[in-house]
A and B are shown apart, each in its own frame.
Chain A
Amino acid sequence: MRTKVAIIGGGIVGLSIAYNLVKKGERDVVIIDRKHIGYGSSTRSVAQFRTHFWADENALFAIESRKILLKAGGQLNFNPLVESNGYLWLLYDDEILEAYHRRNMRWSELGVAGRLLSPEDVRVIHPYINTQGMTGAFYGPQNGRLHHDFLMFGYRNAILKEGGKVLEYLEAKKLLMNGNRIRAIETSSEPIEANKVVVAAGVWSNEILQTVGLQLPITPERKEVCVTEPMKPFIKTFVINTKLKSFLIAQTLRGEGIGSLDHPPVKGTLQPGNTIEFLREFSRAAIATIPALRKARMLRVWSGFYEVTPDHSHILGRNPEWPESLYVAAGFSGHGLMMAPLVGKVMAELLLEEKVHPLMKPYSPTRFEEGKEIRETLVIG
């Protein structure tokens, strides 16, 4: 098989890139995934999006990405169920509160002003939250949640409609070189020859890059996620407890409480699975944060992976020293879903026009060697 652009990885990132390519008129696009689309991470997300990042680069990128996301329902034939319910960071330290206060001035300049709330404010607006020991909270109303599967399906359907290909259950085994360029991808079926190859395989990106001797600074971190039986909607926003292992919870449109907790730490392994330890720690943190969750019933648990880079920011584009025609979009560090709408756009521009979008510049794979890492400290989970 021959194609102009081959994308390894049918997650939200690969799909968004392909979607933007076909939208720009490049229909000769093939996505391959060794399982079904979204298998690795995109279908396992808590499915939230935010604009409040500590690093300017990330905040600017996320703000643009959100703009695209808000319009997606009108453009795709799937509704990504976007809701702007906000994020509420519960804070337990005066210094951190002060830091949020200072950062919020910058966020205001960027057009995404949030609000600092006192514990009394929290009690009034969110009476279900236990405010004991809390020094305040930060509320970011621009943030919200979406339906990860539906966004993925929307991209998929648009790609297929325009004539792009989404090949599932086809494994990329190896990148095949010809001189200093990638000639083709060896797969579990026939090889795919491509003018350009994009690796968007999330945590598994290094597996394929290693076949040409390359490695990105990406560490997999397993995260466990759970949902509760549906409840009457009473959790009004996305609640993050900054003290209790980043306990977080939101309520879906169907009423399920969906949440996670940064525990237990499982690094560098790619075995999905769940632990009893997580169930216990999650339940403790949930009841401590929102006492009414005591009687809520845990419905289902699963796990997925964060593809964590040293600066908790993604890697886009290419290193000039790499084989020609090789591109990367990986290392999203837990932000893949929220960044994907813009990632697709800027990557499509890069692939078709060799144009580097200004917002994309800081994410170059060369930044780690050049000491130009992004200073992202607001990490959730």
Chain B
Amino acid sequence: MTEEVFEIKLNGERVLCKKGEPLAVCLYRSGVKQFNYSSKHQRSRGFTNLDWWMPERLQSEQDSFLNPYAAINEKGLSLKTPKTGVAHRLLTKTVSKLINSEFPHRPTIRKPPFWRLTSSYLRRDLPHPLPSETKGEAVEPTILETDVLVVGSGISGICFAVKLKELGGKVAVIEGDHICGGHAVYDESTIDSIGKRARDYVETVLKRAKDERVPLLTDVVFNGFFDDGALGIRLGGLRADAPMLLKAKFFVFATGLRDLPCLFENNDLPSHMVASSALKLANYYGVKPGSKGVVIGDSEYAVRTALQLKKIGTSVTLVTGYGNCREVRKEYLAGLQEEGVEITTVVKKMRAEGRGKLEFLTVDDKKLAADFVASAGCWSPALELFGQAGIHIGYSHWMNCLLPMHGWYGQTANPSVFVIGRSSGVLDEHISSAFAEATAYHIAKKLKLKVNENQVMTRLNDAKETLSRRYPQNYEAYCKLVNCYEAGEVLNEPRPKPVYAEDPRKVFVCVCEDVTLDDIYRGVKVHGFQDIELLKRYTGIGTGKCQGKICLTNVVYAISDLTGKPPSVVGTFRQRPMVVTTSLESLEALRS
């Protein structure tokens, strides 16, 4: 059977699409690497991540705020990228050197008469879409009622749900992506602890879920805790989103770890993407992210990414040393060299170069030709969910990650919320699913299902034993986290000095609001805003379309670096609902 291919239009130009693919994937396949434009800095922007929460927007005739990943292409679609008007562009070009968080506060600009002029100019044509009045089809709100709601359909989430179902519990899984199975679906590498390919393993797990008839809803995002309930949203893509009231006794967050962009000079150039998006493109959609790639990171995950990108026929260089948190294990290094992956270590600085697209990455003084960069050196769990649930956030040095504080069963400060899977701090997929099953027993007991205490303990002890035997360092880091939780404390480990760049003005921390590392420095050093909440208000970090999902961790690290406080003492800023932006027409449809 041949795949159906058709045409859509972007800014009047033809783009070929495969049926059923997200718009962002079609565009990238056709060589469209610039998705948006930075209005403040007049720079081309690609996407950093292909997820339901990506901050880029496209305009169609029906909807001005299309999320290019949530929307699946359709024949005859005509799209535009939101643009800045000429006047705005001229002004910002002229004063581009002055543009940073301090711009409106400059002595000449803040003077009332001049400010009146500037503000009216700025207001005139921002690069945002104008909402259209087109009325879509009626939106049908739904209610999802269950004992336990699992957020995230990765291996741990599914294993948990299957186990709880087996024990007689009522459970449902929601997944924000179009695809079930989490990162393992586009991971061709082998899970060490069982010697199985991640992709095969997740298929087995998903089959079990199907056999057990576990309700599994894709394109549904957990959108926030409210006083009068929890809200979910079924993302409509080209159609209207549909609200979903989520009613459950327990919420289990199995949201995994998100890759975040590394910080280096010109890291906003199109084709700098997070590793998971490069793998998603390569392994799931069959789109080569480029022909010369650089992967940044030290973890097994970075190694796995490099190997897989090598396998699809790109030349790959792995840059280690960015996170400075642990060394790449020797056996991995040997494997990489065998496959022909070059390895280089960064000591001081990194800088990307290129006109409108990525051409080189200079690591210290070594210039590497690259047409894409995959960041695997920084990650974070879904902090916004934990923040809303009132869960404290710690920092684990070995994991190089902010993590929710939780107990052995994933229990947290919020009695109805549990954390399992990678976001709880166990990296190996198979072992983290063993912990998840222990959580299932624990919750089954709380639901008064038939389980005996022995079963609960045995599951947990088995999982602990396997982790300590296979990955003693991970076990040690995990124990530290849980012990702190049980003592009512927050894991406060320090973070080593990170690698940045020479010119912080070109290092983009927040791509939604165009905030650079220099803006953060200015806030902390010049104005003395050591409190992340005040820094947020000074720079605008975390107030853009991704609501801090991309920038929060990097900001915490930057403040930690500047002030010498451990990341968990710096703390995270409050991340309020919505988790994903939702159209008013779909919220209007909610019933009383």
Could you list which residues of chain A lie within 8 angstroms of chain B, going by C-beta atoms? 36-39, 43, 70-71, 73-74, 76-79, 81-83, 149-150, 153, 157, 160, 168, 228-234, 253-255, 271, 273-277, 279-280, 282-284, 286-287, 291-302
Contact = CB atoms under 8 A, between A and B. Distances in A.
B231 A283 contact: no
A274 B111 CA distance: 38
Contact of A298 (B112, B135, B582): B582
A231 B130 contact: yes
Contact of A300 (B130, B134, B540, B577): B577
B308 interface: no
Contact of B577 (A229, A254, A301): A301
Given A79-B110, A150-B105, A276 B229 contact: yes
A44 to B, nearest CB: 11
Contact of B227 (A71, A275, A292): A275
Given A79-B105, A275-B227, A284-B588, A299 B126 contact: no
Interface in B535-592: 537-538, 540, 543, 545, 547, 576-578, 581-585, 587-588, 590, 592
B576 A302 contact: yes
B228 A275 contact: yes
A295 B585 contact: yes
A321 B271 CA distance: 70
A241 B64 CA distance: 25
Interface of B: 57, 63-65, 104-105, 107, 109-112, 115-116, 119, 122-126, 128-135, 224, 226-229, 231, 245, 527-528, 531, 533-534, 537-538, 540, 543, 545, 547, 576-578, 581-585, 587-588, 590, 592
Contacts of B545: 229-230, 299
B543 A277 contact: no
B357 to A, nearest CB: 26
Contacts of B122: 253
Contacts of B543: 300
Contacts of A282: 584, 587
A274 B226 contact: yes
Contacts of B63: 295
Nearest to B226: A276
Contacts, number: 171
B588 A283 contact: yes
Contacts of B226: 273-276, 279
A81 B104 contact: yes
A78 B110 contact: yes
From B126, B132, B231, B538, name the one whose CB has the most chain A CB atoms within 10 angstroms: B126
Contacts of B578: 298-301
Nearest to A300: B576
A282 B105 CA distance: 33
Contacts of B581: 228-229, 297-299
3 closest A-B pairs (Cβ-Cβ)?
Answer: A79-B110, A297-B581, A283-B588
Given A295-B64, A295-B134, 12 more contacts: A74-B110, A232-B125, A233-B123, A233-B124, A234-B131, A283-B585, A283-B588, A287-B585, A292-B132, A297-B581, A298-B582, A299-B578
Contacts of A70: 112
Contacts of A273: 226-227
Contact of B584 (A157, A168, A277, A294): A294
Contacts of B132: 292, 295
B577 A232 contact: no
B65 A153 contact: no
Given A283-B585, A299-B545, A36 B110 contact: no
Contacts of A301: 576-578
B584 A293 contact: yes
Contact of A296 (B134, B245, B537, B584): B584
B538 A149 contact: yes
A149 B543 CA distance: 14
B233 to A, nearest CB: 10
Contacts of B229: 276
